Structure 1
Amino acid sequence: MVESPSKFKFTFIFFIIISLSLGLVSFSLCLVSEIKRNKKGDLRWNGKLCHLPTSPAFGLGIASLVCLALVQSIGNSILFKNCCLGEKRNARFKIPIVARILLLISWVGFGTAVILLIAATSMSKRQAYGEGWLNGECYLVKKGTYAGLSLLILVTVGSLIGSALLTMKTNKADQGHKIHSTNG
């Protein structure tokens, strides 16, 4: 069953609105995490061992990670829904080269952001005396880490939406150039 062009266009517009919304939420959560992260003044030192309390950045980082994962999964499922349906391939849904490059950028950005968000968020969790974050030592999230992650999230979401827009534009142009032959 082939989707009608209006349903196809609505799906993409809906995807863009949802992706952009979740991307902005993830971006905002990272900026708030930057403000709420543990500072040097939060570090307690008893001469041998250190202690850091749980930072609000811990929960905000997890929420940002969830939003980013939702953006990536929704975006990719919409993009690949019509071009890779198992045995059947939809000829009207083609992904141009530039859109493929943008999709690759979104995946690289997503992978990098996930790794950095997991590391920074886990450092924001409580680090008890003698346990710390790694080898019994306490670690603070470096200033600017969450802010940099917020920019990386914008690049990731932007490239994913750009890939979708280029794909939609290409498919619209391809539909206008079809030549119908008659049998007879």
Structure 2
Amino acid sequence: MFASMEKWGRGVSCRGAICGIVVLLCATAFSCSLAAEFRKVKEKDMKLDGSLCSLPKSSAFELGVAAIAFLSVAQLVGTTAAATTMCGAASKAHGKSPTTARGRAASIAILVLSWVSFALAVVLLATAASMNHGQRYGRGWIDGDCYVARNGVFGGAAALVVVTALLILGLTSATKSSS
């Protein structure tokens, strides 16, 4: 599908459009992650009533969920396009040189790394976002206790968003050179 489409309309390559979409989506996910870092609930927001605690809902919850959504779409678009290109190149290069096989192996390694980075980012974002969804008295995050996301959790997720974006773009570049 993507491999057969070399150009769209006025000279915009399909690969360039996919890279642009991935960059835009990852930049949005990065921005949402950083904004969530500054909007998250802090320990000073915790209210205590005897042994029970409560935390208000924060906009970091919505920002974290939005970051997950944008990053997920970027990951799916980028890796699907690259995998489609890899499959098309593999069927054309069946039985060809070991250089092609090494290029394919490198592409698969980058693909796996992108999914690992993506998964770590989603775990960080989901955990931190859920802690900012609001915690009522006696119904805290785990076992009725209130938990606050540590400083830097959303920032760490933002860094993983950048790593994921770079891996997706590297994968797109690797599949272009191996096809």
Compute the TM-score of the two structures, normalised by the length of structure 1.
Answer: 0.83
Asked if 1:79 corresponds to 2:87, the answer is no
1:64-91 CA distances to partner (integer Å, 9 max, x unpaired)? 0000100111112211224447xx9641
TM superposition shift of 1:131:
0.3
Root-mean-square deviation (CA), in Å?
A: 2.3
1: CA distance, partners of 2:84 / 2:167: 18
Specify the alignment match of 1:13 in structure 2. 16
SS of the aligned residue for 1:50 comes to strand
1: CA distance, partners of 2:119 / 2:68: 11
CA contact (8 A) 1:79 1:164 kept: yes
Q: How many residues align?
A: 168
Specify the alignment match of 1:163 in structure 2. 171
Specify the alignment match of 1:116 in structure 2. 124
2: CA distance, partners of 1:76 / 1:167: 10
Note closer, same or farther for the CA distance 1:130–1:6 as it changes in structure 2 (3 Å cut).
Answer: same
Specify the alignment match of 2:97 in structure 1. none
Note closer, same or farther for the CA distance 1:18–1:77 as it changes in structure 2 (3 Å cut).
Answer: same
1: CA distance, partners of 2:37 / 2:93: 44
Gaps of 5+ in 2: 95-99
CA contact (8 A) 2:25 2:70 kept: yes
Specify the alignment match of 1:28 in structure 2. 31
Asked if 1:134 corresponds to 2:137, the answer is no
CA contact (8 A) 1:82 1:90 kept: no
Asked if 1:152 corresponds to 2:160, the answer is yes
- The equivalent position to 2:115 in structure 1, one of 104, 107, 118, is 107
Rg larger in 1 or in 2? Answer: 1
2: CA distance, partners of 1:162 / 1:83: 13
Q: Counterpart amino acid of 1:73? A: L
1:142-165 CA distances to partner (integer Å, 9 max, x unpaired)? 000000110011001110110111
- Structure with the higher helix share, 1 or 2: 2
Q: Which 10-residue stretch deviates more, 56-65 or 73-82?
A: 73-82
Q: Counterpart amino acid of 1:152? A: L
1: CA distance, partners of 2:135 / 2:116: 30
Compute the TM-score of the two structures, normalised by the length of structure 2.
Answer: 0.85
2: CA distance, partners of 1:81 / 1:111: 21
What percent of counterpart residues are identical? 30
